[in-house]
Structure 1
Amino acid sequence: MTRPEVTGFYEPRSGSIQYVVADPATNRCAIVDPVLDYDEKSGRTGTTEADRILTFVADRGLAVDWVLDTHPHADHFSAAPYLSEKTGAPMGTGARVVDVQALWKDFYNWPEFPADGSQWDHLFQEGEVFAIGNMTGRVMFSPGHTLSSISFVIGDAAFIHDTLFMPDSGTARCDFPGGSANRLWTSIQDILALPDDTRLFVGHDYGQGGREPAWESTVGEQKRTNRHIAAHRTEEEFVAARTARDRSLPMPRLILHALQVNIAGGRLPAPEANGRRYLKIPLDLLGDD
């Protein structure tokens, strides 16, 4: 089986991991889930994280075939448009992003917003295959955390975003609009049906117990030691535990900031007449936390 070269870039503000997955035979690569810098206190945006990836790509002599997002993120802005512009690579995400767009378009009261996925160059279907150099990638539909979440399986590596975390951290929350613990259970079972030595690359890590951030495990390790999967062996048990846990969690601090950007493919709002861009925050939408 093909073994891509995977490099993770940890972004501490949101605990996100961005990836460059490369074909060592051709020096072609894809960028997965890149982060645009955003400070909610000042409103300042930047490209420090994205430029770090571009520097790595240039230093390694890589050419970028794809800039990929697994789903519209709720805790950071996507840097996909910036990286697409800099590299000429097309942007891609899952086809069911249109369902997320339709949901949040209503929340933001944007009747004119095109909820058709046209903000991306390519919308991936379930089971679709694509190329990175000589490597073949495959798309798995992985809803639960969001309506449109997908996983990218590339050789012996799978980029599983917010489904499973590192084993000591468990599984992803499902209480966002459109989320479902039952769907997440099914998505996790699909991932765990991959060969045991498949490398799994997670979308976030928060340094459980004070350890250093980590982002790579295997299917076998997750089956044996994931704190939620090992403890809750049936869908009923898992859904009950996941739902109870989610009730105790506050909403991500940037969810209302990030979704309006990320359902637009990571593009910031257009400047208004004074040349400034503005975010729109719906009040009293997501509850009390």
Structure 2
Amino acid sequence: MVNNADNNDGGGGSIVLAATPIGNMADASPRLMELLQTADVIAAEDTRRLHKLVKALGITLNARIISYHEHNEASRTEDLLETVRAGKTLLMVTDAGMPAVSDPGFRLVEAAAEAGLLVTAIPGPSAVLMALALSGLPTDRFCFEGFLPRKAGERSSRLKELGPERRTMVFFEAPHRLEAMLRALDNEFGGDRRAAVARELTKLHEQVLRGSLRELLNWAEEGDVRGEIAVVVAGAGEAEPERPEDHVAAVNELVAKGARLKEAVSTVAEDARISKRELYAAVLAAR
């Protein structure tokens, strides 16, 4: 069944996901400031960060504030939905950027959508989009991969899965793990793959470094990297097309083991997903 949130069958309340500044408080939108002052309830990833934001903006909160983070999402989601069913406006904020994007909020939106409750958002700062736009890499097709696994084996497995990815990839990483991450990217994707490291976006010491993965790894090895980090990596290039000539040896090997020429050609062509006719011609031409 298609769920139409515009119907808002659950009552007159709503959930508003609000993007908050990722560094520069001047990026707070007028809509964010208005909702902070008028919302009935504010669900915050970190209530201390919320009060710091409000103080910097010079506004006063009148809402009931509820702590809502990855460790209590499961237990508090239903209570928040009841608030919306009662006709209240629930504002959801995280420490920085848009809730539900590598931050708490997805579980709440999923449950609200299932319940037919109205969910909307206040757009605003996004480290993902800003890093992508500043990277100098293709932006027409991209994917967001968040944080890679911390354990080396799991991280390597994830990167092997991403090896054929043609879209530009955006990652987050902690500064103290950046060197290990770039080394893993270098190992799996090759040191020549283009990439960018964006740190402290919108802040006083904003920095975007562009180059090959090997160059960025050398930079990370030289200094004490600090700040919030986003890493943007170019997608894989076009794979070289399979040529019949490259598979002549495989055909000859099967023939040497007793297979008939046509059978050997058929087997190798099917495995390599190339034309049997072209492979057969290549074998004859090589003789």
TM (norm. structure 2) is 0.30
TM (norm. structure 1) is 0.29
